[in-house]
Amino acid sequence: MTDDPRPPYPEQQQAMPGKTEAMNPRPDHGEKSYVGSGRLAGKRAIITGGDSGIGRAIAIAYAREGADILISYLEEDEDARETQKWVEEAGRKAVLMPGDISSAAHCRAIIDRAIKEFGGLDILINNAAHQASFEDIGSISDEEWKLTFDVNIHAMFYLSKAAAAHLEGGGVIINTTSINADQPNAHLLAYATTKGAIQNFTMGLAQMLADKNIRVNCVAPGPVWTPLIPSTMPPEAVKSFGENTPIGRAAQPRELAPPYVMLATDEASYITGATVPVTGGRPFI
């Protein structure tokens, strides 16, 4: 067991999509704890949603393992620059690319920018997501439903399709699904539905790209203490967030980084089409 914060957390609310600095307690992305060992030396990675939360933790870990990183994010410049600082302090190149991944054109531009900046691409992390809480299906607008699919699943298709030609011969795609793929939260209906689609997309794409030597896997987090939580959930849910796990707390983002590292290394050369649950003990079938 660790000394990480446990519920009840202070009640707090933010405007979407939330900022790291305003969170109490502040999330731990591994800034002081993650120690690399060259497992991704010379690799070139794209991380969507790399400005904060799980994405920042992955970026810090990947940089300390030796990878250069393009950080894709919507518009949270302050958070993105903080992630960039940690990547560069590890001695690696960090490219910031703001923009809306619900646009197919922007997704293609992300891949093109990575190829231009790095001379190639080895790893695509489809991590960015949109979520919002609703008590009743009648409260979910058509626009909200479409936005959730555009960001969470359509963008994953656009990015993977554009990246595939550059990943042949040993590339890796890692998608972020969720415990909601297996245990959907009724108040997160649109989000949970896309997370189930992501798991199915991962397994199908893994089979489609296997003959190109491209591995495709996904990580299924349980509750993780990120800016999405105080910016998309009611105060009472924030206060008790993560207490429904056997471990009894939400994960810190740094606790999600190791499986993303492992799946990107040659150590995982026979793992494709898999889902790695990181759920604090909640069952995932």
Of 115, 45, 107, the C-alpha closest to 74 is 107
Q: Which amino acid is at 208?
A: M
Catalytic residue among 34, 158, 191, 260: 191
Assess whether the previous peptide bond of 184 is cis (omega < 30° from 0): no
CA-nearest of 123, 202, 170 to 269 is: 170
Q: Are 177 and 220 in contact (CB under 8 A)?
A: yes
Helix locations, the chain, DSSP H: 53-64, 77-89, 104-118, 142-149, 155-167, 189-209, 228-232, 235-239, 257-264
Crossing angle of the two packed helices 53-64 and 77-89, in degrees rounded to 10: 20
Indicate if 191 belongs to the active site.
yes
The residues assigned a catalytic role are 191
